[in-house]
Amino acid sequence: MLRSATLTAGHSLELLEGGAQFFPALIAAMDGAAREVRLETYIFDFDPQGIAVAQALERAAGRGVAVFVVVDGVGTPRVPQEWQQRWAQSGVRWQQFQPLGQWGLLMPGQWRRMHRKLCVVDGEWAFCGGINVLDDWLDSRHGPLSAARLDYAVKVRGPLVEQCLQAMQQFWARAQVARQLEHLQWREVRSQWPQWRSLPSSGKPLQALAAQTDAATGAADSHAALVLRDNVRNRSRIERSYLKAIGEARHEVVLANAYFLPGGRLRRALMHAARRGVRVQVVVQGRYEYFMQYHASRPVLGELVRAGVEIYEYTPGFLHAKVAVVDGVWATVGSSNLDPLSLLLAREANVVVYDAAFAQRLQAALLTVISGSTRRWDIAADARRPWHQRVRDRLAFGLMRFLIFFSGIRY
């Protein structure tokens, strides 16, 4: 039984495939907002697509909607001066999470990033997934792309929206207090402290959320949960949700993950599933993007293939998805990669769904990708690669393991 005790009923769910579906839905929700818009994103790129989102935020604030935006200091190192001024004039409030200081990422404390992609509109609708505010057809390092970036998001209405809202409110307040402390603004901290302390730590009780009945959404069988990862109380919730679902799989696991370097527990779960007869299909990045993620993952992929896991490399463009389907009923869509950065260091957000219609739509999309846009991993062909490429694999894998050891966290 894959249904978790944390899942609540009464959700309306819409799968959004890529920016072509995500951005029109996001902008339409912002343009319909009457009270509040909250947005968190790792990357906010002011390309034409990002400007369209920035304008929607500006329009919302201009008509009196409370607008809050959080971007990450690595993913979004700067907001253009023009947009800082426009947002200030319209009333958009924004923060940059942990801007890079003088030493940048050389300081281990700066490795803990805000990688969530969340939006809540009027406390009614939530968006969650892997899609940054970034044009699918552009890349900051590679320029125009020959194929759109492959990614997914989900639009949700139902009880988990309140959990999402409260998590975002709390994160905003904590980031604001942290910045005030950094600048020794003690008077501002004292004035904010009562409001910050009054925020709930983990949203409404599950019983209260479940009591928001199916009549609100007309989706009695759509169970869902917001699953967060942070460095305080939710260090392993996303990983545990994967482990539980894979451990209980009986027929098939279909998984797509951009930066796929699972730790020992997840690797064993996938291999055990394959050995007990579950068909396990994993879609990974087929195009070289980052040295560490590309080379360090290859020894792990070989280990999984030898255990019976099917590995497929996505080749037309860049894979950015972080999704999975188990037995056609359980699914997850979110921001978390299955690698050390996401599972040990970053703030992440996934939506976990128990709903056959939603899961099967996502599974159909993934199977279409596998059949038409991937090449299957071949151990023999991998072994025939030039020796220097295989040496790079081992060096990258060893360096990744050293960094994990250095962090003091078991993975």
Catalytic residue among 320, 339, 355, 393: 320
CA distance 181 to 175: 10
Instruction: Look at the block and give the residue holding tokens 């805000």.
Output: 114
Asked if 320 is an active-site residue, the reply is yes
Q: What are the helix and strand counts (H, E) for the chain?
A: 13, 17
The candidate with the shortest Cα–Cα distance to 331, out of 356, 312, 359, is 359
Active site residue 117: yes
The span from the CA of 160 to the CA of 156, in Å, is 8
- Phi, psi for 173 (deg, rounded to 5): -65, -45
Nearest residue to 23 via CA among 99, 134, 123: 134
Catalytic residue check, 327: yes
Q: Which helix (H) or strand (E) holds 281?
A: strand 279-285
Catalytic residue (choose from 11, 45, 117, 135): 117
- Give the pLDDT of residue 397: 79
The Cα–Cα gap between 194 and 360 comes to 46
197: tokens are 């302390």
Q: What is the pLDDT of residue 242?
A: 97
Cβ contacts of 392 within 8 Å, gap of 6 or more: 291, 295
Determine which one of 31, 122, 139, 382 is catalytic: 122
Q: How far, in Å, CA of 189 to CA of 263, rounded? A: 40
Tell me which of 155, 223, 295, 322 is the catalytic residue.
Answer: 322
Nearby residues of 330 by Cβ (< 8 Å), 6 or more positions away: 2, 245, 352, 353, 354, 359
Q: Residue 311: what pLDDT?
A: 97
Q: What would the pLDDT profile of 275-322 be if each residue is shown by its tens digit?
A: 999 999 999 998 877 777 788 888 899 999 999 999 999 999 999 999
Residue type, 187: R
> Which residues of the chain have a pLDDT value below 50?
5, 189, 201-220
Residue 295 to residue 300: CA distance in whole angstroms: 10
Q: Which position among 45, 135, 327, 393 bears the catalytic label?
A: 327
Distance CA 166, CA 282 (A): 33
pLDDT tens-digit readout, 176-221: 766 655 555 555 546 655 555 555 544 343 333 333 333 333 444 6
Annotated active-site residue 115? The verdict is yes
Residue 68: alpha-carbon gap to chain centroid? 19
